[in-house]
Structure 1
Amino acid sequence: MSKSRKVARKSAAVTLAGLILASAALSGCQSGSNNSPASGEPSGSGASASAGASQAAGAIDHSKPLTITVFDNAANYQGEQTGWYGKLVKDKFNITLNILAPQVAGDQLYKTRTAAGDLGDLLIIDNSQLEELIPAGLIMDLTDKLKNTKYLSQYVDNHFKPFNAGFDKVNPEGKIYGLPTFEADTSPTTFSEEIPYSSPIMPWDYYKGVGAPKLNNLNDLLNVLKQMQAKYPKTPDGKPIVPITLWKDWDGGTGAMENVRWLSNWYGYEKPDGTTTIQLNAKGDIVPIIDDNSMYKKILKFYFDANQMGLVDPDSPTQDWNKVAEKLTNKQVLLLWYSWQRGFYNTIERGKNGDGNVAVPIADTRIIQSSDAYYGNGRVFAIGSKAKDPDRIMEFMDWLVSPEGMRYYTNGFEGFNYEKTPDGKFKLTEVGQTAFQNNTPVPDEYGGGGYQDGQSKINSMIMSDFTIDPDTGEFYNNNYWSSTIEANKTALTTDWQKTFNATNATDYYLKNNMIDIVPNINTSLGTDSSDIKNKRSQISDYVKNTSWKMVFAKNQAEFDQLWTKMQKDVEGLGWKDVVAADTAKAQKIVKMRQEALAGK
Structure 2
Amino acid sequence: MKKKGLSILLASAMVAAMLTGCGNDGGQSSGSSEASDSGSAADSGAAESEASDSGEEASDAGTADSGEVPTITYAHTGKASADMEIWPPDFVKQMEEDLGVKIEVIQITDEQFDLAVASGDATFDIANVTKYREPQVLNKGMAVCLDDYLDIAPNIAKFEDRNNLVREFLSNGDGKLYFTRCQVGPEFPGSEIWSGYVVRWDWYKELGCPPINSDEDYLNVLQQMVEAHPTNDAGGPTYGLGQYVGTGLWSWNVVKTYQLGYSENYVPGLQVNLATGDVYNAYTDDEASFWQAMEFFNKAYNMGLCDPDFFIMKSDDLNTKVVQGTYAGALRTWDVGSYYSQEAKNDPETLKGYVSVFPENGGMSANYASNPIAGWENNSLFVYSGCKNIDKAVQVLDYMHNEDNLRTYYSGFEGVHWEYDENNVPVLTDAGKEMFATGGTPLDQAGVAGSTTGGWMNYLCAYSGGVMHSDGSMLNLTYSPEALAETLNPLQKDYSAHYNVSYPAQVHQNQVEQGIAKDRSMDTKDLYMILTQVPEDMGTKKTQIETLLEGYIPDLVMAATAEEYQQVKEQVIEECKAMGSDELFTWSKEAYDNAYKAFTDAKAKYGIQ
What is the TM-score with the length of structure 2 in the denominator?
0.71
Q: Which residue, 264, 269, 273 being the options, matches 2:257?
A: 264
Q: Which residue, 251, 268, 286 being the options, matches 1:276?
A: 268
Q: Which residue, 143, 149, 154 being the options, matches 1:145?
A: 149
Q: Which residue, 293, 302, 308 being the options, matches 2:302?
A: 308
Distance in structure 2 (CA, Å) of the matches to 1:406 and 1:239: 47
Deviations 1:433-470 (A, max 9, x none): 12339xx9999xxxxx8761554545534321112345
2:133 is paired with a residue whose SS is: helix
Measured after TM superposition, the shift of residue 179 of structure 1 is 1.9
Residue number in structure 1 paired with 2:33: none
User: Is residue 2:501 matched to residue 1:504?
Assistant: no
**CA 1:401/1:581 → structure 2, altered by over 3 Å: closer, same or farther?**
same
Distance in structure 1 (CA, Å) of the matches to 2:579 and 2:233: 50
Distance in structure 1 (CA, Å) of the matches to 2:50 and 2:239: 42
Deviates more, 1:493-502 or 1:521-530: 493-502
Q: Which residue, 230, 249, 266 being the options, matches 2:227?
A: 230
**CA 1:543/1:49 → structure 2, altered by over 3 Å: closer, same or farther?**
farther
Question: Residues 262 and 270 of structure 1 are in contact (CA less than 8 Å); yes or no, is this contact kept in structure 2?
Answer: no
The amino acid of 1:68's aligned partner reads T
**CA 1:435/1:521 → structure 2, altered by over 3 Å: closer, same or farther?**
closer
Q: Which residue, 291, 298, 313 being the options, matches 2:292?
A: 298
The amino acid of 1:396's aligned partner reads V
Matches within 5 A, 1:62-141: 63=68, 66=71, 68=73, 70-73=75-78, 75-77=79-81, 82-85=85-88, 89=92, 92=97, 93-100=101-108, 114-117=117-120, 121-141=125-145
The amino acid of 1:171's aligned partner reads N
Residue number in structure 1 paired with 2:358: 360
Measured after TM superposition, the shift of residue 506 of structure 1 is 1.5
Distance in structure 1 (CA, Å) of the matches to 2:292 and 2:480: 35
Measured after TM superposition, the shift of residue 356 of structure 1 is 5.8
2:500 is paired with a residue whose SS is: helix
Residue number in structure 1 paired with 2:524: 520
Residue number in structure 1 paired with 2:180: 179
Measured after TM superposition, the shift of residue 223 of structure 1 is 1.1
Distance in structure 1 (CA, Å) of the matches to 2:587 and 2:233: 52
Residue number in structure 2 paired with 1:426: 428
The amino acid of 1:533's aligned partner reads G
Question: Residues 206 and 228 of structure 1 are in contact (CA less than 8 Å); yes or no, is this contact kept in structure 2?
Answer: yes
Measured after TM superposition, the shift of residue 432 of structure 1 is 3.6
Q: Which residue, 495, 498, 507 being the options, matches 1:492?
A: 495
Matches within 5 A, 1:316-327: 316-321=310-315
Measured after TM superposition, the shift of residue 544 of structure 1 is 3.7
Q: Which residue, 196, 203, 208 being the options, matches 1:206?
A: 203
The amino acid of 1:151's aligned partner reads N
Question: Residues 201 and 336 of structure 1 are in contact (CA less than 8 Å); yes or no, is this contact kept in structure 2?
Answer: yes
2:286 is paired with a residue whose SS is: coil
Residue number in structure 1 paired with 2:164: 161
Distance in structure 2 (CA, Å) of the matches to 1:392 and 1:499: 44
The amino acid of 2:128's aligned partner reads I
2:128 is paired with a residue whose SS is: strand
Distance in structure 1 (CA, Å) of the matches to 2:487 and 2:449: 25
The amino acid of 2:439's aligned partner reads A
Residue number in structure 2 paired with 1:216: 213
Distance in structure 2 (CA, Å) of the matches to 1:221 and 1:137: 54
**CA 1:134/1:458 → structure 2, altered by over 3 Å: closer, same or farther?**
same
Measured after TM superposition, the shift of residue 218 of structure 1 is 0.9
Aligned residues: 536
Distance in structure 2 (CA, Å) of the matches to 1:361 and 1:412: 36
Residue number in structure 2 paired with 1:465: 465
2:199 is paired with a residue whose SS is: strand
Q: Any gaps of 5 or more consecutive residues in structure 2? A: 1-8, 14-40
Distance in structure 2 (CA, Å) of the matches to 1:358 and 1:47: 44
Measured after TM superposition, the shift of residue 224 of structure 1 is 0.9
**CA 1:163/1:216 → structure 2, altered by over 3 Å: closer, same or farther?**
same
User: Is residue 2:276 matched to residue 1:244?
Assistant: no
Measured after TM superposition, the shift of residue 181 of structure 1 is 2.5
Question: Residues 204 and 358 of structure 1 are in contact (CA less than 8 Å); yes or no, is this contact kept in structure 2?
Answer: no
Matches within 5 A, 1:499-578: 504-511=507-514, 513-515=516-518, 517-522=521-526, 523-547=529-553, 550-551=556-557, 560=566, 563-578=569-584
What is the TM-score with the length of structure 1 in the denominator?
0.72
More relative contact order, 1 or 2 (CA 8 Å, 6+ apart): 1
Measured after TM superposition, the shift of residue 191 of structure 1 is 7.3
Deviates more, 1:202-211 or 1:469-478: 469-478
Distance in structure 1 (CA, Å) of the matches to 2:50 and 2:544: 48
Measured after TM superposition, the shift of residue 247 of structure 1 is 3.2
1:397 is paired with a residue whose SS is: helix
Measured after TM superposition, the shift of residue 558 of structure 1 is 6.8
**CA 1:299/1:42 → structure 2, altered by over 3 Å: closer, same or farther?**
farther
Distance in structure 1 (CA, Å) of the matches to 2:465 and 2:50: 21
Distance in structure 2 (CA, Å) of the matches to 1:194 and 1:452: 18
**CA 1:69/1:397 → structure 2, altered by over 3 Å: closer, same or farther?**
closer
Distance in structure 2 (CA, Å) of the matches to 1:240 and 1:431: 37
The amino acid of 2:283's aligned partner reads I
* Structure showing greater Rg: 2
2:158 is paired with a residue whose SS is: helix
Residue number in structure 1 paired with 2:591: 585
**CA 1:442/1:218 → structure 2, altered by over 3 Å: closer, same or farther?**
closer
1:181 is paired with a residue whose SS is: coil
**CA 1:132/1:240 → structure 2, altered by over 3 Å: closer, same or farther?**
farther
Question: Residues 45 and 94 of structure 1 are in contact (CA less than 8 Å); yes or no, is this contact kept in structure 2?
Answer: no
Distance in structure 2 (CA, Å) of the matches to 1:414 and 1:501: 27
Residue number in structure 2 paired with 1:372: 371
**CA 1:192/1:82 → structure 2, altered by over 3 Å: closer, same or farther?**
closer
2:139 is paired with a residue whose SS is: coil
Distance in structure 2 (CA, Å) of the matches to 1:398 and 1:371: 24
Deviations 1:219-270 (A, max 9, x none): 111111122233345666778765333334554xxxx434313313323433
The amino acid of 1:425's aligned partner reads V
Question: Residues 297 and 557 of structure 2 are in contact (CA less than 8 Å); yes or no, is this contact kept in structure 1?
Answer: yes
The amino acid of 2:228's aligned partner reads K
The amino acid of 2:258's aligned partner reads N
Measured after TM superposition, the shift of residue 288 of structure 1 is 0.7
The amino acid of 1:278's aligned partner reads L
**CA 1:367/1:453 → structure 2, altered by over 3 Å: closer, same or farther?**
closer
RMSD: 4.9
Distance in structure 2 (CA, Å) of the matches to 1:506 and 1:356: 19
Deviations 1:259-292 (A, max 9, x none): 313313323433333x221211132221112224
Question: Residues 25 and 340 of structure 1 are in contact (CA less than 8 Å); yes or no, is this contact kept in structure 2?
Answer: no
Q: Any gaps of 5 or more consecutive residues in structure 1? A: 1-21, 27-37, 444-448
Deviations 1:338-393 (A, max 9, x none): 5877976589x978969762433264744276632343121222334445644433
Question: Residues 441 and 450 of structure 1 are in contact (CA less than 8 Å); yes or no, is this contact kept in structure 2?
Answer: no
1:290 is paired with a residue whose SS is: coil
